[in-house]
Amino acid sequence: MKEGPNIALLGSLIGDPARANILMALMSGKALTASELACEAGITAQTASAHLAKLEAAGLLLLRKQGRHRYFALSDADVGNLLETMMGVAAKHGHIRTRPGPKDAELRKSRACYNHLAGALGVHMLGSLVAQNYIIENAEHLDLTDSGRLFLSNIGINVASLEQSRSPLCKPCLDWSERRPHLAGALGAALLNHFYEQGWAKRQEGSRVIAFLTHGEQQFMNLFPASKASR
């Protein structure tokens, strides 16, 4: 390919197993140190430093300095969405290399995909929003309806403020475990923060798992009832 975006460069960067592990570790949306990422990738600190420099130079990672500490995070939601989509394609074609364990079911139920809710509950939420005519699916994008704006306003989410964000308001993101889209974009991030603020859910330490408390999951289901298609 002589002209256009250089996808081969991104492919080579993400395709390295150590760099892939580093990127996956940052899918929770948290910023981690080089030492923490080296541990996640199973490599030495020196090797991790070289990998991190390449990922930062390519614009996939963002370096944040706080005092003597250096933290790395995914550069933006687009990188997170790209990784989640790649995971979905890999899972669809049977390219699975993770070993099932106690957390596997929890990850499939609800997890952080960069800054929004993924997993079965994330897919359920988008399906409910569509079924209630709060969001309309149009080919590869999502549109928020007037009734959706009213619904969000009633639960304390300022849509006008979200529309000032550089991120799209509503964006579908292919869920790797459910093989269907969940809600990304500024609205997806705002809803996940709402669940945290309401005390409905919390992210497990050192994991992408989002654990809903019993009362929190009930409130979630009240807010996003199952659509007829999913029953």
Check: CB of residue 209 under 8 Å from CB of residue 111.
yes
Q: What distance in Å separates the CA atoms of residue 118 and residue 192, rounded to the nearest whole number?
A: 10
Residues 6+ apart with CB under 8 A from 174: 84, 85, 88, 89, 180, 181
Kindly report the CA angle at 102 between 179 and 48, in degrees rounded to 5? 80
Biggest CA–CA distance in the chain, Å, is 56
Residue spans of alpha helices (H) in the chain: 7-15, 17-25, 34-41, 45-57, 77-92, 102-109, 120-131, 146-154, 159-162, 185-197, 214-223
Give the pLDDT confidence score for residue 101 in this predicted structure. 46
pLDDT value for 183: 95
What structural domains and CATH numbers belong to the chain? 7-75 (1.10.10.10), 95-230 (no CATH)
Cα distance between residue 116 and residue 84, in whole Å: 11
Take residue 16 and report the two structure tokens written for it: 């390295």
pLDDT, mean of each 10-residue run, the chain (231 residues): 76 90 85 88 89 93 84 88 82 65 76 91 96 89 95 95 89 85 93 97 87 96 79 42
Sequence-separated (6 or more) residues with CB below 8 Å from residue 208: 27, 28, 107, 111, 112, 113
How is 41-104 classified by DSSP, letter by letter? HTS-HHHHHHHHHHHHHTTSEEEEEETTEEEEEESSHHHHHHHHHHHHHHHHTT---SPP-HHH
pTM of the model: 0.69
The pLDDT of residue 97 is: 62
Token pair in block for residue 166? 């550089």
The pLDDT value given to residue 9:
87
